[in-house]
């Protein structure tokens, strides 16, 4: 869905929409890897062993383990610990 929205935003030169869709795509790449790991664990009837997870409250970027000083995608400084 995001690639289509991003293409439309670029076609219409909507700078804010381009930035938002680009950030969402970057965040979803990370989410995809986490989902794949969760799916593998579920297939093995195991719990997913995760370190502490931090989520950027601005763009949704998710990082496992240590937290950066600011979000590498949007530069936001509000990373929530889960």
The whole-number pLDDT of residue 12 equals: 94
The whole-number pLDDT of residue 15 equals: 93
Sheet holding 62-64, edge to edge: 62-64, 53-56, 79-81
Condensed to tens digits (0 to 9), the pLDDT of residues 24-67 reads: 888 888 889 888 999 999 999 998 888 888 999 988 888 888 77
Tell me the whole-structure pTM to 2 decimals.
0.68
Question: How many structural domains are present in the chain?
Answer: 1
Residue 34's domain comprises 2-81
What tokens appear for 37 in the block? 């790991």
Cα gap 17→4, rounded to integer Å: 12
Cα gap 35→78, rounded to integer Å: 23
Run of H or E including 79: strand 79-81
Average pLDDT of span 53-82: 87
| Greatest alpha-carbon span in the chain | 47
* Higher local confidence (pLDDT), 43 or 5: 43
The whole-number pLDDT of residue 1 equals: 63
What tokens appear for 13 in the block? 């030169």
């Amino acid at each position: 869905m995001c690639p289509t929205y991003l293409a439309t935003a670029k076609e219409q030169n909507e700078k804010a929409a381009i930035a938002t869709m680009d950030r969402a795509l970057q965040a979803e790449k990370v989410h995809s890897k986490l989902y794949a790991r969760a799916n593998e664990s579920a297939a093995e009837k195991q719990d997913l062993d995760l370190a502490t997870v931090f989520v950027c409250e601005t763009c949704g970027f998710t990082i496992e383990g240590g937290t950066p000083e600011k979000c590498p995608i949007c530069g936001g400084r509000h990373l929530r610990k889960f």
